[in-house]
Structures are given as C-alpha cells and as structure tokens.
Amino acid sequence: MTHKRNTLRGLAAASLALAFGFAAQHAAAADPIKIGLILPMTGQSASTGRQIDAAVKLYLAQNGASVAGRPDTTRRLAQELVVNDKVVALAGFGLTPLALATAPIATQSKTPMVVMAAATSAITEASPFIVRTSFTLPQAAVSIAEWAAKNKIKKVVTLVTDYGPGIDAEKYFSERFALNSGVVVEKLRTPLRSPDFAPVLQKVRDANPEALFVFLPSGQGAAFMKQFAERGLDKSGIRLIATGDVTDDDQLADMGEVAMGVVTSHHYSANHKSAVNQKFVDAFKKANNGMRPNFMAVGGYDGMRVIVDGLKTTKGAGGEALLNAMKGQVFESPRGPVLIDAQTRDIVQDIYIRRVEKVDGQLYNVEFDVQKAVKDPGKAK
Ligand code: DHB
C-alpha cells in the first residue's frame, strides 16, 4: 500500500492511502507536538478514512484549543502538518495489516500507537506501545452467537472476509455458538480485495441454514446486501445475522428494505440513546454536511480523546509517559462507558444487540439488548 505525505488541507484531494501529521503548540517548548495519523482514503476502505478523518477534526475543533494548555486552533495545526519524524503518537490504522506492519516501528521508537479502526484481537499484542479505541471481532461475535442460540437458531452458515478480523469472527462465533448447542454447517470466506458474493451466496442457499452469520469490513456491507437481495436470499427464510460492520451507519441509510430486521452485535450505533451520543451525532453531522457518524468515526473521536487527555497529563511529553497516561483511562464515549484496560491496552466496552428499523423514515441499528463491560474474549486464553 502506498502512503502519501500530505497536509490536512490536502486531505480530501489525496488519491492514495494517506499519512499525515498535525502539530499543536507544546506548552513548555517552541517545538510543536505532532501526531501521525495513517488512514486509507481510497478504495473499499475509503469510508473508514473519511469517517475517522472527520471525527479527528471534530475532536480538535471542539477541544484543540486546550491541548497541553495552549490556545491552538485546527487551522494552525493544519498549517504545521508534517508526517516525517518526532510525532508523539501514531494513530489511525483502518485495516489490520496496516496496523501490524506499523507495530514494530512503534516498539522500536517507543511511540504510542493508537489503533482507531482495525479490530483483529491480536493487534494489541504486536507492540507494547499499542492502545486500541475501536473494538475486537471476538467482542462482537461472541454476543451475536449467544443471541442466536437463545433465539432458537440451531443451524448456521458463517461467511467472513478471509483475513485477521474475519478469521477471529468465524472462530469466536463458531465456538460460542457450539457451546450453546448450535451447529455451524459450513464456513465460507471471501477475499479482502474485490469480493464476489454470488458464488458464496449460492452455497448458502444450498446449505439452507436457519441463519447466515456474516462479517465483512466496513465499506463492503452495501454491495453484499444488494447481492443478498438480488439472489432472493431475503425471501428464502434464511435469517441474516452479522457483526455491526455489515449494517455500517455509513451505508445503512441506502441499503433499502433488504436490511430491515437484520440483527447484529456491535459497540456503536448512531442511534445509541445517550446525551453524549446525541451531542456527538449532532456536532458530527453539522461539521460534515449531514454525514452520519459510524463506528469508525467513534473509534477516531475516542482515540483523539485518549491521546489529548494523555498529553494533558504528560504536559506534552510522548514516549512511555504518554503510553502510561493512556492506560487505564475511563470515560463516557458516544458509544457508552469505556475503559482502556491498563494490562491489555485494549478497550473494554458494552456490546449491544441491535435490529435494523426505520426511525423517522431512515434505517438505523436500534439497540435492544446489551452486554456490559465486555473485555476482548480473544485475550482470555
Ligand atoms: C477491520 C476493518 C474494518 O473495516 C472493520 O469493519 C473491522 C476490522 C480490520 O482490518 O481490522
């Protein structure tokens, strides 16, 4: 993957995956504090980059003036953008391979690395400098497996993207479902790049399970749902269940009737009922021409919060001091209460069971059940 250096102002025009840094005035020294953010900006993960970029900008617009106690504005930060060296933190990482490739750099340079999107369980074990503000696929998959088993679903086919998070989703869904007397009759996978869902959907039809469990990375849900409907699977009696990546708020509004009633598990819905979320959604939409925030936006927003609060504690210092200031942070996210587990550096959060419904004429993931304070099951070995 090619990464392009760019400025914040040039972000929208970037044509390749992008790396950018921004600068804030250090409280004690004239040197700016820099954070390097690496995000995919094109191709099927483009929405991840767009959502996180918008959330990071929103966080800085709302809070940037108080970074390490100095009144700096987002505009000033943009002018001083650099990507090369001396960043106090690395942040972003829209896909697992990108996070894993960067982990050794974080370790060698002792730079805290905040994973705002990628969600394979093992990522946090790739460097002691990694902190995660997104989620893990085991967190989501275990909850929907329990819901399915409790709701008289006994026979399931799984369909996942064939790389880290998909393999986690398949494994943790299947294991938990089996513990609850469910049977996975077939395990299907599609490639990360340019997947064709037609052949796997034919296999699903042939296997005729009670439900199909799906994980696809953010950005692929709409194409999948279209195929699911075109091949008549929505009328076949096979229920669709998934992790919330599939009914992604970035694409859900345009998915149409086929998405209605789909049950998923995830850590964030734009429809989450809380004052903190209402404020976040309103501010995000206002700052982005009405764009609805998705779970990637929340990972980016909370990631910025964790970095900025850490920098307040260290008075702008990076390295191990910043890492330690990130560990153990507890706060109310737009998604609900969260903790950055000091031992694992991974996020502990509520996982919701949601159903796609119309709210004021628009499709939303409406939460109807919750499992509180879920630690990544991938680490409880
Ligand atoms: C990953 C990417 C996604 O877009 C997603 O929804 C979940 C996981 C990943 O690569 O880890």
The verdict on the CB of residue 217 being under 6 Å from ligand 1 is yes
Residue 59 CA to residue 180 CA, distance in Å, equals 42
pLDDT of the residue at 12:
25
pLDDT of the residue at 365:
98
Tokens describing residue 164: 């880290």
The Cβ-side half-sphere exposure at 155, using a 13 Å CA radius, reads 8
3-state SS class at 372: strand
Residue nearest to atom 7 of ligand 1 (CA): 217
Q: What is the position in ligand 1's atom list of the atom closest to the CA of 118? A: 11
Contact 60, 116 (CB under 8 A): no
The verdict on the CB of residue 249 being under 6 Å from ligand 1 is no
The verdict on the CB of residue 170 being under 6 Å from ligand 1 is no
What's this model's pTM, rounded to 2 decimal places? 0.86
pLDDT of the residue at 56:
86
* Closest C-alpha to 73, from 35, 12, 22, 29: 22
The verdict on the CB of residue 165 being under 6 Å from ligand 1 is yes
Q: What is the position in ligand 1's atom list of the atom closest to the CA of 45? A: 4
Residue 200 CA to residue 215 CA, distance in Å, equals 13
The verdict on the CB of residue 195 being under 6 Å from ligand 1 is no
Report the relative pairing of strands 155-161 and 183-190 from DSSP bridges. Answer: parallel
* Closest C-alpha to 188, from 158, 216, 211: 158
Residue nearest to atom 11 of ligand 1 (CA): 118
CA of 66 to the centre of ligand 1 (A): 31
Query: In testing the pocket of ligand 1, which one of 245, 247, 250, 265 has its CB within 8 Å of the most ligand atoms?
Result: 245
104 Cβ neighbours under 8 A, 6+ residues apart? 126, 127
Residue 110 CA to residue 327 CA, distance in Å, equals 15
pLDDT of the residue at 140:
98
The stretches of 216-367 forming alpha helices (DSSP H) are 221-230, 275-287, 295-314, 319-326
pLDDT in tens, the chain (381 residues): 223 333 332 222 222 222 333 333 333 344 566 777 767 777 788 898 899 989 888 887 777 534 333 343 323 332 333 345 567 888 888 888 888 888 888 888 888 999 999 999 999 999 999 999 999 999 999 999 999 999 999 999 999 999 999 999 999 999 999 999 999 999 999 999 889 999 999 999 999 999 999 999 999 999 999 999 999 999 999 999 999 999 999 999 999 999 999 999 999 999 999 999 999 999 999 999 999 999 999 999 999 999 999 999 999 898 999 999 999 999 999 999 999 999 999 999 999 999 999 999 999 999 999 999 999 999 865
CA of 51 to the centre of ligand 1 (A): 13
The verdict on the CB of residue 245 being under 6 Å from ligand 1 is yes
* Closest C-alpha to 341, from 168, 172, 133, 139: 133
